[in-house]
Homo-oligomer: A and B are copies of this chain.
Amino acid sequence: MRFIIQHTDPKSSARAGVIHTDHGDIETPIFMPVGTVGAVKAVHIKNVREDIKAQIILGNTYHLYLRPGLEVLENAGGLHRFNGWDKPILTDSGGYQVFSLSGRRKINAEEGVWFQSHIDGSRHLFSPEKVMDIERSIGADIVMSFDECTPYPCDHAYAEQSMKITHGWLERCCKRFDETEPKYGYSQTLFPIVQGSVFPELRKRSAEFISSMNREGNAIGGVSVGEPTELMYEITELCCQLLPKDKPRYLMGVGTPANIIEGISMGVDMFDCVMPTRNGRNGMIFTWDGILNMRNEKWKNDFTPIDANSELFADREYTRAYLRHMYVADEILGPMIGSIHNLHFYLDLVKTARKHIANGTFASWKNEILPRISQRL
């Protein structure tokens, strides 16, 4: 993997760059659609490629490990071959899901985490070594180290203890990763994750430790877990200032369109979030003019396009009235349109931000766009 910074914004920490991988280039800043079990929910892979124009998608290690399982993924020749997506993929480490989804779990620094599958209650162990092996079997281009994602709120003592465990696991992840080879003939790279909850002192220690590992990219985890937005921005900014400038910075699980613009301004290069797909399934539509609750009665007779500023086929072909009808009548097409629309908007948003960084107009564009995309219509 190689990362080249092409432009830096004079009035903020925003930058535009490109990440070269064996599955092609990723132009940053980028948003990565979440493909939980190997599918971006409610969107055909052809549309992810040709219409949303995603450059990298995310897979969840926890979900893929449980279903379809490593045997199938290895037999297929890795996730790219399994789901037909031949551009870059990033996999998380399963840390977040183990703590948020699974049943009774037991964590200890030595072994890792024993957890119960949310599907059938079966017991499994995720250790740093095992997660690295799993991510080798999945075969993503960028793999995340195994961490504990602390909940919010969480006291200082727990956050510090958890951070120390995460750091220990990182060393073990790096060791295992560096001792093993990719399985499918293209290279993989490992990103470590800054933790430390909302405590600046812990975040500082964690960012410094993570930086010292000298991997090809770094991530900020443990944000967007319920803390106030201002606190998230504060922590993100702090981490961005400490993480090396010449490597991609990935802000995990963030966020709203406004969160993403703010993150870019702080120097974040990569984002992922379930919001465009999850909210799209529920009828919340993000547009250049603001946020629409499509179930609202007010769209009943609105025969204008979903987003007049969009070039997406779905935005041209369907009206707000029709989309509202789809949600109200519980038609699968509602979530399908909502998901493809929102993802297209998110990709359009980061692409436009990138253009403004290249033109040196990012700061003024950000000020103009933020109130508009954040308002409720």
* A residues in contact (CB < 8 Å) with B: 37-39, 41-46, 63, 67-68, 71-72, 75-76, 81-84, 281, 300-301, 303, 313-314, 317-319, 321-322, 325-326, 328-329, 331-333, 335-337
Contacts and interface: CB of A to CB of B under 8 A. Distances in A.
A324 to B, nearest CB: 8
B326 A39 contact: yes
A46 to B, nearest CB: 5
B333 A42 contact: yes
Contact of A325 (B42, B72, B84, B317): B72
Given A301-B75, A313-B46, A317-B45, A83 B332 contact: no
Given A39-B331, A281-B332, 11 more contacts: A44-B313, A44-B314, A44-B317, A45-B317, A45-B318, A67-B328, A71-B301, A72-B301, A76-B322, A82-B325, A332-B336
Contacts of A39: 326, 331, 333
Contacts of A335: 332
A46 B301 CA distance: 22
Nearest to A77: B303
B38 A332 contact: no
Contacts of A42: 332-333, 336
28 contacts: A37-B331, A41-B331, A41-B333, A42-B332, A43-B333, A44-B314, A44-B333, A63-B329, A67-B325, A67-B328, A68-B321, A68-B325, A72-B301, A75-B301, A75-B303, A75-B321, A76-B303, A76-B321, A76-B322, A81-B303, A82-B319, A82-B321, A82-B325, A83-B322, A84-B322, A281-B332, A332-B332, A336-B336
A50 to B, nearest CB: 10
A76 B323 CA distance: 13
Nearest to A67: B329
Given A37-B325, A38-B322, A318-B84, A300 B68 contact: yes
Nearest to A300: B72
Nearest to A317: B84
A185 B123 CA distance: 65
A106 B332 CA distance: 33
A322 B82 contact: yes
Nearest to A50: B313
A63 B331 CA distance: 12
A330 to B, nearest CB: 9
A82 B313 CA distance: 16
A82 B318 CA distance: 8
A367 B225 CA distance: 62
Contacts of A37: 325, 329, 331
A37 B324 CA distance: 12
Contacts of A332: 41-42, 281, 332, 335-336
A82 to B, nearest CB: 6
A313 to B, nearest CB: 5
Nearest to A332: B42
A51 to B, nearest CB: 10
Contacts of A44: 313-314, 317, 333, 336-337
Output the residue of A313, A321, A322, A335 with the most chain B CB within 10 A.
A322
Nearest to A83: B322
Contacts of A41: 331-333
A52 B65 CA distance: 35
